[in-house]
Every structure is written in C-alpha cells, then in structure tokens.
Amino acid sequence: MGRARDRDNRPQFPLRTDTVTSTAPAGLVVNAGSALPPLSFFKLAAFDMDSTLIGIECIDEIAALAGKGPEVAAITEAAMRGEITDFRDSLRRRLALLAGVPATVLDRVLAERLTFNPGARELCAAMKAAGLKLVLVSGGFTYFTRHVAAELGMDFVRSNELEIVDGALTGGLVMQDWGDICDGEQKRRMLLDCCARTGCSPERAMAVGDGANDLLMMGAAGLSVAYHAKPRVREQAMVAINDGGLDRLLELVRP
C-alpha cells in the first residue's frame, strides 16, 4: 500500500500507435508498461494543490510572513520527502507554530505569493473540454482551494479548514463532515468517492501530485502523474513530468 502502481501490475490501456512510451520526449518519463490512451479515455482527474497546481506551499508562505518560516518549512520538507510518515502529526506540529497569527496573513499570501504553475490552466482547460470531471484534493486550506478551484473550474474540492477565532489562527482545524485533516488516505477516499458519484471506474481516473502524501490516491487511479516531484514519488509514478509545465502531459495523453 502506498505505491503508486507496481510496474508489473499496471493497467493495460488500449494500445495507440501514435503514443510515445519507451522513448518519451525530454523531461518526461513514462513507466506505464503499455501505450497511453487518449485524454478522452479518462473521465476524471484528481489534483493535489500545493507545489502541483500552484507554485507554493501555502503553509510555508503563511509561516514566512508570520516570522516562523524556517521551523515550518523544515517540517514540510521532511513530510514531503516521506521522512515524517504521519502527515496528520506533521500538519498539527506546523499549525501549532502558527497559533496567534493574524488571519489577514492569509489575504497577503493569496494576493502576493500564490501563483499557478506553468501549464495548470491549459491542462485543466483541455481536460474540461474532453469531458473530464476535475477534483481538487489538498492537505492545504480551504481559503486557498476556493480560489484555485474557481479559477480552474474544479467540480469537487476537499481540503482543510483553518480555525480562526477573534481574527487569528488558533493553530487548529475545523471539523468537517468527512473529518478534520485531509491526509493521504482522505485523498484516496475522495478520488474513489468522486469516481463513484460520477460513474467513473478508477481505471479511467488519473491522479496528479508531487509529494508522499499523494501516493495513496495515485495508487488508486488508473494513471498516476508526478509533477516536479520528490524522488520517491517520481520513482513510483507511471508518468513523471520533470521539466516544463503541467500541460506537457498532453504530449503523452493527447486530446
């Protein structure tokens, strides 16, 4: 459990003579085991947000503006690399460092620091045009996922809700109907729930991420895509985009 897909147990997609697999374009690595189908084969795509769709880790940016940057960033990096295996614990530790930070810092992160990664808009637009449902599932925060989801036309969203009391972060999260922390297991469940709600077989879903917290949902999807990812994630993904933007996926899974 946790592997994006064993290389000897990959789904056998319908073969396409025009798809490059063993000799992928520079900056792309394909370990699918069979030719990739067209984009229209897929019915759903689930995306991580921080460092995948957007170019920042929001919690690190909050911490930086609050003067807690190095402490929080160190925990984030260790969790992304898989060195801290309990994401829930790592998130609680980071949030505790932010207790008392004014909520206005969230406004500044959104206005001054949040940028979309290259190709994010283009890839999502191509997917929407091909009829895919889009899922944003993040260990980040609803304050930012609302903005990203609206900009990219996401159909389903799940993320963590920061608790704010008297205009300041408490260092905690708000309980939601599915739980309080969107960790790797919640990401996997969200992907499968959205597949069930839309009548999509998981084999016709793809999952895109960059960190260890994405591996469970990547393993549940028919196609796993690593974007400028940590080494452990690149090794286990069926497709790795190591150079260029997210829209480079369209060079392999063409509309």
Annotated catalytic, 214?
no
Catalytic pick from 6, 8, 18, 50?
50
Largest CA distance in the chain: 61
Tell me the mean pLDDT per 10 residues along the chain, length 255.
45 47 80 88 98 96 96 88 87 96 98 98 98 98 98 98 98 97 97 98 98 96 97 95 98 92
Which listed residue (6, 18, 48, 89) is catalytic?
48
In what helix (H) or strand (E) does residue 249 lie, and over which residues does it extend? none
- What number of other Cβ atoms are within 10 A of residue 153's Cβ? 12
Sequence-distant (≥ 6) Cβ neighbours of residue 136 within 8 angstroms: 46, 47, 49, 53, 145, 148, 149, 152, 154, 156, 157, 158, 159
| 50 is an active site residue | yes
- Give the span between the Cα atoms of 174 and 240, in whole angstroms: 34
39 touches 255 (CB < 8 A):
yes
- Nearest by Cα to 224 from 196, 182, 245, 253: 253
Give the position of tokens 């260790």.
Answer: 78
> Which residue type is seen at 207?
A
- pTM exceeds 0.85, yes or no: yes
Residues 219 and 4 sit within 8 Å (Cβ to Cβ): yes
Query: Is 44 within 8 Å of 195 (Cβ atoms)?
Result: yes
- How many whole angstroms from its chain centre is CA 218? 9
At 19, the amino acid letter reads T
What was the pLDDT predicted at 202? 98
pLDDT in tens, 36-88: 999 999 999 999 999 999 999 999 999 999 999 999 999 988 887 888 888 89
Long-range contacts made by residues 26-29, C-beta under 8 angstroms, separation at least 24?
26/243, 27/241, 27/242, 27/243, 27/244, 27/248, 28/239, 28/240, 28/241, 28/242, 28/243, 28/248, 28/251, 28/252, 29/234, 29/239, 29/240, 29/242
pLDDT at 20: 41
